[in-house]
Structure 1
Amino acid sequence: MSTTFSPRDVSVLLNGVKISDWSDGNDVIQAKLNADAGSYTMGANGTGVFIANPDQSGTLTLKIKQHSPDNHYLDRLFKQQRSAIKTFIPLTLSIVDLLNDDKVSGLNGYFTTSPDYTRGMGHNAVIWTLVFEQLTITLEKGLAHS
């Protein structure tokens, strides 16, 4: 059975504003948790203890086309955070794969890395990196398995 996916059918909202002008590549939207769910420590007698990790933070990486209006929007938010952290309102994230129903949500997000400025003989993606205090990834079975 084949599966179906289209980057045009992924909705990415940061503070309710749609981000959609993706660069080329297989990883233009990447969300990942920052820590393992826990660790298992084994004792000398062969029994273990599992220590659950309460860290639910995660990192979002977005690759946007060079000269996209999306970069302008993200740059203004980044500059607000850098110049007035006391009044900066942390970011919210909502990602929905409209074909397959996968979802990612994030709360209390901040920019961590300033994007590089690279120009040359080819297109250069602008890479934005954000961290969220809480990131939830929900994977569904997908369109082909409905």
Structure 2
Amino acid sequence: MAASLTQAERVIAVDVNPGRLALATELGATDTIDAAATDDPVAAIRELTGGGAGHVLESSGNVRAFRQAIDIVNSSKRIVGIVEGASVPHVLIPDLIGLHAAGRFPVERLVTSFSFSRINDAAAVAASGEAVKPVLHL
């Protein structure tokens, strides 16, 4: 969703969950790859991009996905760790609120809310991939 707000010409989402891939398309991905349905997601991305992606963001924390992300990047590679997008909160938060108010950043589409008494349900849908961002509330 955030990448679609940039000047990126192509935004490729890769996941093993068809529901999350459908959501990615709804939120701005130009292409999707079901990593569970292809033998080689790296080859699929290279084919789509004509050789490799200029930038790759890996956010699953899965070691195999991280290795594949490195293999996808064309020519020069630089690995950079980031926390919260290396943002400046007093600038980013108002920008995100403005984008949300304008209907361009529907973050609520990513959130599934659970009362704190349903913490085990929240953990289960997080582990299964059924929910993108489970959020607990009182």
Shorter chain as normaliser: what TM range? under 0.3
| Structure showing the higher strand proportion among its residues | 1
The higher-RCO structure (CA 8 Å, 6+ apart) is 1
TM-score by length of structure 1 reads 0.21
Larger radius of gyration: 1
TM-score by length of structure 2 reads 0.21
